[in-house]
Amino acid sequence: MRRAISRLKPLWLLPVLLGITLGVLTVFDAVPDFVRSVPSLLLLIVIALGALLSGVHPKADEHDPHVMAAPVRGRWAALNTPGQQLPSHGSRFLGQYAAVDILQPTTPATPAKVRKAWRGSRPEEYPSFGAPVCSMAPGVVTRIWSRSRDHRARNTWQALLFMMTLEGMFRSVSGQRAIIGNHVIVHHDDGTAAVYAHFRKGSVVVGVGQRVEVGEQLGEVGNTGNTSEPHLHVHLMDRANPNTAAGLKMTWSDITRAGEIEPSLAELAKEPAENAVLSMPRNGEIFEA
């Protein structure tokens, strides 16, 4: 039942988008007359029902983490990781139950997480931007998108506020591309599938139907979709369609961890929750692949 409801997620999001639009129009006293003629209670019921159904996501049975290769090489830091807690991103939306964000450690030239400026930093200023992204397991590419532009970082107070309010709401109801940006989905030989998200525009080097092996490059880290700065988002699912997939736990077999914490993420480096995947880095932890 959960998968059947989740399959129609784009349909359920339409009333949510309607609610957001009506809210904006109400602020400017610009609600059309034909909408005003509809009973308010009916509108509220439709919007609430859409919000309720859009929050229904499949769940996988309890399982051991799937063993994969890391999708990057070199030194990286983890954020919003299953090594900290589950769901790692606070939601099962689009199969993200055990997703992880990773970015390269800061350098003296890396822009601050938040700075006083009118515009956010350019993505090219970040060390993660343009880093190769590799397949975690052998399989076949089922979906790609590489046309979204790389936007500036959301590292000013006004940009962060915009991202957490209006931008976040509109991206959440505008479809997968608005959230994960440029991406690749690989359906693995064992039946699982991985989403690799936020690629740099035009950097995807594989095509739909192409077979890839472990470690084969898929593209490059970018800053597309719902991102505050360039990083790689990756998560594992039990099927290749994020709208109907349940998120799966994974672990990387080829990483080393020395307990080092990335200074810019130190405030987030807390003791892992009881349900954390302890074989994965926790928030702020640096690992080497």
Alpha-carbon distance 154 to 162, whole Å?
9
pLDDT at position 23: 72
**Same structural domain, 172 and 31:** no
Residue 59 in any domain: the answer is: no
**Same structural domain, 24 and 98:** no
- Check: pTM over 0.75? Answer yes or no: yes
Cβ(62)–Cβ(238) below 8 Å: no
**Same structural domain, 137 and 158:** yes
pLDDT at position 173: 67
CATH of the domain at 215: 2.70.70.10
256-287 tens-digit pLDDT: 999 999 999 999 999 999 999 999 999 999 99
**Same structural domain, 75 and 36:** no
Across 49-73, average pLDDT: 87
Residue 42: alpha-carbon gap to chain centroid: 34
88-144 tens-digit pLDDT: 998 898 999 999 999 999 999 999 998 888 899 999 999 999 999 999 999 999 999
With vertex at residue 228, the alpha carbon angle to CA 8 and CA 181, rounded to the nearest 5 degrees, is 40
Alpha-carbon distance 249 to 62, whole Å?
9
Strand partners, 248: 236
User: Which two tokens mark 152?
Assistant: 């500036």
Eight-class DSSP state of 173: T
**Domain extent at residue 27:** 2-54
Q: What end-to-end distance do the CA atoms of the chain give, in Å? A: 39
By C-alpha distance, which of 52, 42, 47 is closest to 21?
47
Crossing angle between the packed helical segments 40-54 and 9-27, to the nearest 10 degrees: 130
**Same structural domain, 36 and 98:** no
Eight-class DSSP state of 93: G
